[in-house]
Structures are given as structure tokens and as C-alpha cells.
Amino acid sequence: MFSCKFGRLISGLCIPKAAPMCGMSPTGFSWSAVCQRRTLRLQRTQKNPEPCHLSLRQSSHATVDPDEVRRFQLLSSKWWDEQGEFAALHAMNDLRVPLIRDNLLNMHPKNHPGRPLSGLKILDVGCGGGLLTEPLGRLGASVLGIDPVEDSISTAQVHASYDPELRGRLRYQACTLEELSAEAEEAGRFDAVVASEVVEHLADLETFAFCCNHMLKPGGSLFITTINKTNLSYALGIVVAEQLLRIVPNGTHDWEKFISPVELERLLESNGFSVQTVQGMLYNPLSGAWSWTNSTAINYALRAVKVRDDVQPEPTDGTEEEESHRTGTHS
């Protein structure tokens, strides 16, 4: 039932209609009220720059947000319920697995029928229960999945143990990205780093970008899927999904942690990456399927390539980052 309501709300927001544009939609949803609330939040952020998440990212040097860890700890046993809280992530594999496979094959053309990614090493950051780690392993890659939630790693290990085909291809480790980056034997050995639906939950994106660079071989690929920071993502991701229809628990997402493609590209390029592609993604709650779209207003996928490894983390006074935060936020 909620899927039907959600679909009607998406239609009301995405398709121009003469009557609802200036006031209330037929569902009672006030788009203008959402915009006003978002504007007030931005004004408060600009008047009080110290609490801004971007400033915290600069100073914390820890990618993990303890509140996010606690939240996912409660969901750690539900990763492989394809009709549960992670249903959309299961469906997203239809887009993200081919995205990773095809781009890696373009850069590493090999002839391994049935195992096209054989010989490649992939790091899956924030792997959760292994929803993306396993299909990459089945394509022949050697995959290391990391997550700070130990129970999620246990869930991933148990599930992978049921498939003999994955034996020897997957490894899981309960740790943060910065902890792994500090291990000399792991640095600079991966052909690709994947962070799918992760960056919107992190506390320090500067450290994240620096560590991703550190883990990759020269020319290695970084794949990210995340949520844009726009009016529409606030309306659908926060107001509709959490507060109105309660499709996901209230507090699952913090809109202040969402990041625009422009801001993310700027961050990555300052940390030794060259962004190659940015593509919009759209989820249909009625069919439960994802599709590619030209619009990046809500979800998007980004692919970048490591072009240098001489990056050093540089502390800032927050002024430039705050200006980037304002200019990178658009609808």
C-alpha cells in the first residue's frame, strides 16, 4: 500500500501539474513548505558555520559516525531479506554490478569466460552484509569487504559460506577505511574501490577520499553511488520516506550529509582523482527496480580514476569548504 502512495507522490513531485504547483498536492503534500524548511536550515547553517558537517569532516580524521554504526547494528541481521529494509539495495545490483564490471573490463581487457574480473582486486567499503561483495566475487574478482559493524561482517561471512564458488575469493574484515589504510601491506594494491550508498553516512569525507586514493593502484578506479543534496532529495528521502510514509525509520538519513556531484567531484579531484562519469539513478517503488536517468537530482553514480598518489591531507580553516558547501547545493 505504501508503495502506491509513494509512487503517486513521486509523480506529483516530478511531473508538472497546473493546479498543485502553487499549493497543496492532491495527497496533501506541500512542496513549498518543504522548500521553506530547507531554506531555513541552510540559513541556520550559514549563520553558524562551526557545527557544519563539512567542518567536522575536516577535523575529525575518522570516517565513521558512531550514531550510524549504532543504527546499522540494529539492522545487521536483515541484510539478506530481499523484501525488507534493504530491498532497494538488492535491486540496485542490476545497475551497479554491470557499471563496475563493464568499466573495469574496458580498463583491464582479459579473456576469462564466466569470470571476467578474474585477477582483479576490489575493495568494497561499507560492505554491510555483502550484497555487492558477493556478485563481484562471482565475476571472478578477489574482493575484500570492510565494515565497522562487526555483526554485519558476521552476517556476510555466514552467507558467503553457503556458496562454495566464493571460497577463496572473498575476505571480510571488521574495520574502518582509515584503519585498513594504515596497514602497509594493503595500501596501493587494489584495482578498484567501491563505496555504494556509503558516503551519505560518513563523518569525514576528506579522510575518506584520501584513504581511497591510498588504497588504489595508480590508474585504479573509484565507484561511488550516493544521494544528491537537492530540494527533491530532501522531499523524497527525508520528508516522504521517513516522516510521512515511514518507509524507512525516522533518522535514517541526515540531509546535511548528502553531497552534490559538483561538491563530490571537487573533493575527489583535490585528492588525486579524475572524475570520468556521473550518471543519475532512479528508483521506482512500484516495480522495485532501478534505472539510469539523465537527472542527478536524487541518486547518482560516479566513477573516478586515480591519477596521482602524492596527495597529502591539508587542514583548512573551513572558509573555503563552507563556500563550497553553499555553491555545491542546488536543486
> Between the CA of residue 27 and those of 2, 24, 169, 230, what are the distances in Å?
13, 8, 49, 21
Q: Which superfamily does 66-228+257-306 belong to?
A: Vaccinia Virus protein VP39 (3.40.50.150)
> Contact at 8 Å (CB) between 224 and 199?
yes
pLDDT at 172: 98
pTM above 0.85, yes or no: no
Domain ranges of the chain: 66-228+257-306
Tell me whether residue 96 is annotated as binding: yes
Tell me whether residue 242 is annotated as binding: no
Q: At what angle do helices 53-60 and 205-215 cross, to 10 degrees?
A: 50
Q: Look at the block and give the residue holding cell 521506482.
A: 284
Please give the full DSSP string across 262-308, using - where no structure is assigned: HHHHHHHHTTTEEEEEEEEEEEETTTTEEEEES--SSEEEEEEEE--
> Contact at 8 Å (CB) between 225 and 259?
no
Tell me whether residue 147 is annotated as binding: yes
Task: Taking the CA atoms of 314, 320, 323 and 324 in sequence, report the sign of the dihedral they define.
Answer: negative
Cell numbers standing for residue 279: 550518471
> Contact at 8 Å (CB) between 250 and 242?
yes
pLDDT at 32: 44
pLDDT at 248: 64
Cell numbers standing for residue 198: 556509503
Tell me whether residue 328 is annotated as binding: no
Tell me whether residue 178 is annotated as binding: no
How far apart are the C-alpha atoms of 171 and 190, rounded to whole Å? 13
pLDDT at 245: 62
Per residue in 42-82, pLDDT (tens digit) is 454 444 443 333 333 333 468 888 888 888 888 888 899 99
How far apart are the C-alpha atoms of 75 and 259, rounded to whole Å? 24
Phi, psi dihedrals of residue 124, rounded to the nearest 5°: -105, 105
pLDDT at 150: 96
> Between the CA of residue 78 and those of 53, 106, 206, what are the distances in Å?
29, 35, 30
How many H-runs (helices) and E-runs (strands) does the chain carry?
A: 12, 8
Which portions of the chain are predicted below pLDDT 70? Answer: 1-61, 241-242, 245-251, 309-331
pLDDT at 61: 64
Tell me whether residue 330 is annotated as binding: no
* Cβ-Cβ contacts under 8 Å for 115 (sequence gap 6 or more): 139, 140
Cell numbers standing for residue 34: 518543504
Nearest to 121 by CA among 93, 145, 154: 145
pLDDT at 284: 85
Tell me whether residue 57 is annotated as binding: no
The upper half-sphere exposure of residue 156, i.e. CA atoms within 13 Å in the direction of its Cβ, equals 28
pLDDT at 240: 73
pLDDT at 310: 55
pLDDT at 188: 92
Per residue in 93-114, pLDDT (tens digit) is 999 999 999 999 999 887 788 8
